[in-house]
Amino acid sequence: MNIPVWRRLGRAILIPVLALLTALAIGAMVMAIFGDDPVRAYQGLFSGAFGNGRAWSTTIRKMTPLIRTGLSVAVDLPTGNVIARIRVPPGPHNVAATGDRWVMVTSPPAGAVTLVDARSLRVVKIFRGFGYPHDVEIDGGRAYVTDEARGQLVVISIAGRRVIARVPVGPRPHDVAVGDLAIVTHGPSQPDLTLVEVSDLDRLRAVRRMAVGGPAHDISKQPDTANIYLTYWGSGVVGAVDGGRGRVLWRRQIGSLVHHVQFDYFHGRRLWVTDHETGRAYLLSSRDGRILRSLGGCPGAHHVAFTPRLAAFACHDSSSLLVYDTATARTRPIRVGAGPHGLAVAVRP
């Protein structure tokens, strides 16, 4: 039997549309369960992905690297040489290092976290069973992973090679900084931080919430103080908070769409932030947020990491790192492959 062309065309259009609507409905239910506002989330999603011509081109440009990438790249920063490409589960995103040996890599789409030996540049173990592991930080022989899908902070013993705790922390935990407490940011509809007791393995628990002047995106802690530094969702604002008193110390409009912040623990009185929208990195005074230096040439700027002399920035849209020499004030790009995002520094003997 011949089916009319208009009916075949109608089916070809209707089935994908129904599939899309069903997926959106399921996504809205999941977000509602985790306490997020589906309408606000979808507005941000479609505005960011398709709101203007630049957004369209950026969305198309980023799709392929996110789908195909399953590599972590080891780079010798002084020479700029790529010394290894390490196969990890698909979608590697954030990375943390102990400094002397161990590196942890999250792969959110694969629900996995990978432990890498920086000396041998080999995978030691892949931890699976996560919903959507986003961020990872290492402190005191433990790795702390935010599982966005399950609302948990997952604690891994690096020496024991095992998960030792899963702590409920509330909806959509995003980034984490660790000191005497683990401090967790959440999604854009959650205005407060969550503070987690981590000093006693038998009493790992969320202890309180803390308001910081708006929904925080990324977070970095200043060692040996209560000070924390934050970026805020969908803005160019950077802030400093006294975590002990819960008091905002300063807030400044720095850029257009500031994503990531990292306290410079080698220097002790400054921090770096990156502006994803403008492709710039800013060196700020940790005391008051004043801009001390501004660097360009890092399209789609994401994370930053440093040595005592060098600062490196992940330039997502140019498939490269930008390395800044603090002694000479010179920058140079290093090509590393599609879509770099997370960065960490490990010292190899």
184 and 105 both lie in a single domain: yes
Question: Does 73 fall in a domain?
Answer: no
The share of the chain scoring above pLDDT 70, in percent, equals 80
Q: What is the pLDDT of residue 23?
A: 57
- Looking at the chain, the whole-number percentage of residues with pLDDT higher than 90 is 65
Give the DSSP letter string of 77-94.
TTTTEEEEEEE-SSS---
**What's the whole-number mean pLDDT along residues 120-131?**
96
| Structural domain contains residue 64 | no
Residue ending a domain, choose from 299, 316, 332: 299
| 125 & 271 share domain | yes
Who contacts 209 (Cβ-Cβ below 8 Å, separation ≥6)? Answer: 170, 192, 193, 194, 195
- 129 and 196: one domain? yes
Domain range for residue 116? 80-299
Work out the mean pLDDT of the chain and round it to a whole number.
85
> So what's the pLDDT on residue 21?
64
Across the range 327-336, mean pLDDT stands at 94
The region of weakest confidence among 164-173, 292-301, 335-344 is 335-344
- pLDDT for 54 equals 39
291 belongs to a structural domain:
yes
Kindly report, residue by residue over 284-298, the tens digit of the pLDDT. Answer: 999 999 999 999 999
Whether 38 and 96 map to the same domain: the answer is: no
Segment 39-62, tens digit of pLDDT: 554 554 444 444 444 333 333 333
Asked whether residue 159 falls in the same domain as residue 291, the answer is yes
pTM summary value: 0.81
**Tens-place pLDDT, residues 252-268:** 999 999 999 999 988 88
Residues 243 and 147 in one domain: yes
On whether both 164 and 39 belong to a single domain, the answer is no
Q: Is residue 323 part of a domain?
A: no
Q: Do 203 and 271 sit in the same domain of this protein? A: yes
Angle between helices 38-50 and 53-68 (to 10 degrees): 100
Residues 41 and 95 in one domain: no
What CATH number did the domain enclosing 278 receive?
2.130.10.10
Residue 251 lies in a domain: yes
User: Per the domain annotation, does 335 fall within a domain?
Assistant: no
- Indicate if the pLDDT at residue 125 is higher than 70: yes
Q: Considering its fold, how many domains does the chain have in total? A: 2
d(CA 134, CA 149): 9
Domain-located, residue 315 = no
CA 272 to chain centre: 15
| Token pair listed for 309 | 């002399």
152 and 189 fall within a common domain? yes
58-114 pLDDT, tens digit each: 333 333 333 344 778 888 888 889 889 999 999 999 999 987 889 999 999 999 999
Q: Do both 54 and 84 map to the same domain?
A: no
Instruction: Examine residue 338 and state whether it is found in any structural domain, yes or no.
Output: no
Q: Is residue 16 pLDDT above 60, yes or no?
A: no
How is the beta sheet containing 95-97 ordered, strand by strand? 95-97, 102-107, 112-117, 122-127
For residues 22 and 120, membership in a common domain is answered with no
Residue listed under structure tokens 């623990």? 265
Q: In angstroms, how far is CA 222 from the centroid of its own chain? A: 18
